[in-house]
Amino acid sequence: MSQRDEQLKLIDIEIEKHKGDASSLMQVMQYSQDIMGYVPMDVQVRIAEGLGVTLSEVYGVATFYSQFALEPKGKYLISVCLGTACYVRGSQSVLDRICEELNVEPGKTSGDGLFTVEATRCIGACGLAPVITINDEVHGRLTADDVPNILKPYLKG
Amino acid sequence: MITLTIDGTEVKVEKGTTVLEAARKAHIHIPTLCFLKDLNEIGACRICVVDAGARNLQASCVLEAQDGMVVKTNTPRVREARRTILELILSNHDKKCLSCVRSQNCELQKLSLELGIEDGEALGGERTHYEIDESSVSIVRDNNKCILCRRCVAACSKTQGCGVIGAVNRGFKTSIESPWELPINQTACIRCGQCIAACPVGALYTRNEIDRVWDMLADDSLYTVVQTAPAVRAALGEEFGMPMGTNVTGKMAAALRRLSFDKVFDTDFAADLTIMEEAVELVNRIKTGGVLPMITSCSPGWISYCEAYYPEFIPNLSSCKSPHEMLGAIVKSYYAEKMDIPVEKIRVVSIMPCTAKKYEAKRPELAANGYPDVDAVLTTRELARMIKTAGIDFARLPDEDFDSAFGESTGASVIFGTTGGVMEAALRTAYDVLTGESLEELDFHQVRGVKNIKEASIKIGDNTINVAVVHGTANAKELLETIKAGEKEYHFIEVMGCPGGCVTGGGQPIVPAQERIDVDPRIERAKALYSADAEKPLRKSHENPSIIKLYEEFLEEPNSYKAHHLLHTKYTQKSKYPALEK
C-alpha cells in the first residue's frame, strides 16, 4: 500500500466518525491537512460525500482559511513573519531574498518539493524581529544577507 | 401581534416578522440586494439598513420586529450609509449597462437611480477582472458584474440540492465559482437556470441563440417550424408590461407568425402525445410488474439531476422523450413525409421556459430521424427580445390560432407547465385506459399547489395508485431518500426540476426580489394555466382529435414499434464530479 493510500485510509476512518455531520467540516479538513500536508480535490470530494455537504462548501472553506493548502506543502515550511514589528525591521526584504534564493513565489512550493514559503502574520516573537520559522526552528534578528547561510543546511534535502 | 412604529406610522404585525416585511405594511419599500424571500435572508449586503434605535444601523431583512420598536428608514444617516454601500459595490462592477441583458430589469441599476448615485471618484478604484465563463450551452457567468449577494448560491444548493457554485477565496478576492474555479460545464450543473432567476444583476444569463434563429428565418431555402411550451404563454406577457398571470396564447401565436416562421405549432399538442405514451407505459409497468415507481421525464433539469446524483433511479425514469422533442421527431418524420418537405431543410425551434432544454436539444440520442429532433431552443426571455427587436406591438396584436395539424390541444396538456400538471393529465388518461370508463371529476386538487411534496392515493377501478409530486430537485432528493430508505412506496412520481414547475423555469421572465415579497409567481402563473384548462372543451389527452388521427395514420398505437423509435429514449449515468475523473 502506497503512503498516499494509507493516508486516504486514515482520512476515510476520520470521515466515518463524523458521517453526516456538517459541523465537523473544519475538523476533518484539518485532519487531512495534518497528515497529507494539503487537502487535494479527491479528498475534498470524500469529505463532501461523507459529511453530506457540497463540494462547493468544502472548497469555499479550503480557500477561505489560509491554514488549508490545495497543493502539497514542501518538506520545509518557511514562514516569514510580516507582523508590524518584523515588517518595520525589514522582513519584506528577508522574504524577497528567500524567494529569490529558492526561486519560488510566496505561498507556493519550490519545484523540487523541498520548500514552501509563506508570509504570516505576527507570530509573537517580536523581540527577535525580523523572524522566520523553518518547520519548528526559529531564526531571528535577520537581514537579507543572512538568508543564504540559514538555508544552506536545508538545501541538502 | 406586536406593534411598532415605522417612520411615524404604527404597524401591527405577527411576532417573528422582520422589520423589512413590517415596513411594507406601512407602504415603505426598504431597498434590498442580497435578500430573496424564503431563500436568502442573510443580511450580507447591508443595503437595507435602518435606524432602530441601536448604536449602529441594522440590516432590516434579518432584524426581528419588537413590540414598541421605533424604526426610522429614511434619515440622513441611513441614506448616506446606503449610498456608500452602493458606491462600494459599484466601484468593483463593470457598469456596462448598455449591452447588459438585465438593463431595465436590474436591481443594482434601479437602486442606483433611486438612491441618486453620481458618477465620480467613488465609483473608481481597484477592480477585479474575470474571464466570462461560456462553457455551458445554457448558462453564462460574468463575474465582472457579480455583486456577491449569494442568491445564486442559495438557489443552487437549497432549492436545487446541487451546490455546484459557492463563494471562493476571501475579502476583495472573493468570487462565486465552481470548486477549483472549474468552468461550469465541468461540474454536475443541471442547467436549470434557477441561478439566473435568482441573480439581481447581469452576472448570470442565458446562452443566447437568437442570432442562430434569425439566420434560419432569413434563409428562404429552410422550412422553419416553431413550437411553444405550455408555461411560456403564462409569462411572456410580463415582458410587455402585462400583469403576472395573463394568458397570451393568441398574441404569442400572432407574434411568431409575424417573425415569419413557416409554421406555428404548439408543444401542448405534443404534451397530449406524451400523456398517451406515458400513461400506457405506466399501465404496462403496473400490469407486467415493471420497474416502479415510474418517474416522469419531461424536465431535462431533473433528468440531468437523476443521471448524476441518483443514477440508481434511471430505470424508474419514463422512457418518453419530453414533449418538444416528440413534436420535433414527428415533424421531421410524419409531417415531412405528408407535406413532402426534405427533412434536411426543416428547422424546429422550441420556445421554452427552460435553459436546460438548450442542452437537451443537443443530446445526440435525441435525433430520431438522423437529424436533431429540435434545432434551436429559445427561452421565453429570448423570444421577448426578438419580438422587441422586430418592433412588434405585442400588447395590441390580435389573438390568433396555432396552425392546424399540431396546433390542437386539450386542457390536460396546458397544465403541463405547472407542478402537478403532468400527474393530473396522466391520471385523467390512465383512469380511462385502466377502467374503460370515462372519468367525470377531472380536477385532482391533491396534486395542485406549491407544497414541496404532494402525495395522493387515487382509486382507479380496483386499483389504488399511489402518486407523489415534487418540484425543485432538492425536494426530489428528499423524496428519493424516503423511497431508498423503504419508508415510502409509490406507483408514479412527477418531478419537475424547477420550484413551481415550468411556469417559474430558469428561462422565464425574471421577477425582481422586491416583487417576490408580495406575490408568488409560481401561484400566479399557474392560475393562467388552470383557467385555460377549465375553459377547454376537451380536457383529456386521449380525446384530442389530432392525436387520434396521428395514431390512426402513422403511429398505430401508444408504445408501438414506431412510437418507440420516434418518441422514446434512454438515459445514462453521468459523473457527479466530472473533473475528478480526468
**CATH number of the domain located at residue range(s) B123-206 in this protein:** 3.30.70.20
Contact call for B163 and A54, based on CB within 8 A? yes
Which residues on chain A are in Cβ contact (under 8 Å) with B180? 41, 59
Secondary structure (H, E, C), B167-227: EECCHHHCEEECHHHCCHHHCCCCCCCHHHHHCCCCCEEECCCHHHHHHHHHCCCCEEEEE
**Other CB atoms within 10 A of residue B561 CB:** 10
Contact (Cβ atoms closer than 8 angstroms) between residue A141 and residue A130: yes
pLDDT at B405: 85
**B2-74 and B123-206 in the same fold:** no
CA distance B582 to B576: 13
Comparing CB atoms, the residue among A55, A56, A63 nearest residue B169 is A63
| CA distance linking residue A5 with residue B523, whole number of Å | 53
B57 min Cα distance to partner chain A (Å): 27
Q: What is the 3-state secondary structure (H, E, C) of A22-45?
A: HHHHHHHHHHHHHHHCCCCHHHHH
Range in A34-43, B150-159, B535-544 the model is least confident about: A34-43
- All 3 cell numbers of residue B437? 370508463
Residue B414 has a CB neighbour count (10 Å cut-off) of 31
How does pLDDT run across B10-49, given as a tens digit for each residue?
999 999 999 999 999 999 999 999 999 999 999 999 999 9
Q: What is the mean pLDDT of residues B142-166?
A: 98
Exposed (0-12), middle (13-18) or buried (19+): which is B122, by Cβ within 10 Å?
A: middle
What CA dihedral angle connects B235, B239, B243 and B249, to 10 degrees? -50
**Of A53, A55, A60, which has the smallest distance from its Cβ to B577's Cβ?**
A55
φ, ψ (nearest 5 deg) of residue B459: -85, 120
Q: Which residues of A touch B169 (CB under 8 A)?
A: 63-64
* Helices A41-51 and A25-36, axial angle in degrees (round to 10): 150
A56 touches chain B (CB under 8 A): yes
- Residue A101 neighbours by CB under 8 Å, 6+ apart: A147, A148, A151
CA–CA gap between residue B507 and residue B382 (Å, rounded): 8
C-alpha grid cell, residue B575: 459523473
Element (H, E) at B11: strand B9-13
Among B318, B322, B333, B413, the one annotated catalytic = B318
A positions 78-97 inside 8 Å of B (CB): none
Give the separation between CA B187 and CA B577, rounded to whole angstroms.
6
CA distance A83 to A123: 7
Asked if pLDDT for residue B582 goes beyond 70, the answer is no
Q: Which residue type does A58 have?
A: V
What's the average model confidence in pLDDT over B356-370? 96
Indicate if the alpha-carbon torsion angle B78, B80, B83, B89 is positive or negative. negative
**CB-based burial of residue B117 (10 Å sphere; 0-12 exposed, 13-18 middle, 19+ buried)?**
middle
Helix (H, G, I), strand (E, B) or coil at A114: coil
Catalytic (active site) residue B543: no
Instruction: Tell me which of B239, B278, B424, B494 is the catalytic residue.
Output: B278
**CATH class of the domain defined by B2-74:** alpha beta
| pLDDT, tens digit (0-9, with 9 covering 90-100), for B247-297 | 999 999 999 999 999 999 999 999 999 999 999 999 999 999 999 999 999
The residue-averaged pLDDT of B147-165 equals: 98
Q: How far apart are CA A98 and CA A92, in angstroms?
A: 10
B295: β partners:
B317, B493
- Residue B168 has its nearest CB partner, among A41, A53, A60, at A60
CATH number for the segment(s) A76-155? 3.40.30.10
For residues B85-109, give the mean pLDDT: 96
* Distance between first and last Cα of chain B: 58
Q: In chain A, which residue's Cα lies nearest the Cα of B166?
A: A56
Q: Minimal Cα distance from B160: which residue of A?
A: A54
B-chain residue closest to A45, CA distance = B577
> Which of chain A's residues have a Cβ under 8 Å away from the Cβ of B163?
53-57
Closest Cβ–Cβ partner in B167, B170, B179 for A55: B179
Angle at A68 between CA A115 and CA A65, to 5 degrees: 125
All CATH 3.40.30.10 domain ranges of chain A, comma separated, are 76-155
- Answer whether residue B203 shows pLDDT above 80: yes
Q: What is the pLDDT of residues B376-408, one digit of tens each?
A: 999 999 999 999 999 999 999 999 999 998 999
Q: Is A63 touching B (CB cutoff 8 A)?
A: yes
Tell me which chain A residues have a C-beta less than 8 angstroms from the C-beta of B166: 54, 56-57, 59-60
Chains A and B form CB pairs within 8 A to the count of 44
Contact: B163, A57; criterion CB under 8 Å: yes
B157 is catalytic: no
Q: Is B357 a catalytic residue?
A: yes
By DSSP bridging, strand B346-352 and strand B376-379 are: parallel
**Which of B90, B92, B82 minimizes the C-alpha distance to B114?**
B82
- Determine contact: B165 vs chain A, CB below 8 A: yes
pLDDT tens for residues B459-498?
A: 998 889 999 999 999 999 999 999 999 999 999 999 999 9
Q: What is the pLDDT tens value at each position of chain A, 157 positions in all? A: 799 999 999 999 999 999 999 999 999 999 999 899 899 999 999 999 999 999 999 999 999 998 898 988 888 999 999 999 999 999 999 999 999 999 999 888 898 889 999 999 898 999 999 999 999 899 999 999 999 999 999 998 7
> Grid coordinates in use for B88?
462600494
HSE toward the beta carbon, residue B73, CA cutoff 13 A? 25
DSSP letter for B133, please: B
Residue, of B393 and B119, whose pLDDT is higher: B393
- CA-to-CA distance for B318 and B268, rounded, in angstroms? 19
Which site among A42, A43, A54, A64 would you substitute to test the B interface, given the most B Cβ atoms closer than 10 Å to its Cβ? A54
Instruction: State the complex-level ipTM.
Output: 0.92
Contacts for B507 with CB less than 8 Å, ≥ 6 apart: B193, B206, B352, B353, B354, B355, B357, B379, B380, B381, B382
ω into B31 cis (within 30 of 0): no
pLDDT at B121: 86
Tell whether A13 is within 8 A of chain B (Cβ). no
Reduce the DSSP state of residue A102 to 3 states and report it.
Answer: helix
With bands split at pLDDT 50, 70 and 90, how would you rate the model's confidence at B441? very high
**What does the alpha-carbon distance between residue B576 and residue B573 come to, in Å, rounded to a whole number?**
9
Q: For residues B229 and B529, what is the distance between their CA atoms, to the nearest angstrom?
A: 12
Q: Enumerate the residues of chain A whose CB falls inside 8 A of the CB of residue B167.
A: 60, 64
pLDDT value of residue A67: 82
**Largest Cα–Cα separation, chain B:** 78
Closest chain A C-alpha to B180 CA, distance in angstroms: 7
Rg (CA), chain B: 25
Which architecture characterizes domain B210-567 according to CATH?
A: 3-Layer(aba) Sandwich (3.40)
Q: Residue B478 in 3-state DSSP?
A: helix
> Are A63 and B168 an interchain contact pair (Cβ–Cβ within 8 Å)?
yes
Most B CBs within 10 Å, among A8, A38, A41, A63, to test the B interface: A63
Question: Is residue B396 classed exposed, middle or buried when 0-12, 13-18 and 19+ CB atoms within 10 A define those classes?
Answer: exposed
- Helix or strand or coil: residue A58? helix
The domain segmentation of chain B, as residue ranges, is: 2-74, 123-206, 210-567
Give the dihedral sign, CA B10/B13/B18/B23. negative
CA angle B452, B457, B460 (to 5 degrees): 140
Instruction: Give contacts of B 168-197 with A, CB under 8 A.
Output: 168-170, 178-180
The grid coordinates of residue B197 equal: 432567476
Contact A14, A28 (CB under 8 A): yes
Best residue in B173, B186, B580 to probe A by mutation, most A CBs within 10 Å?
Answer: B580
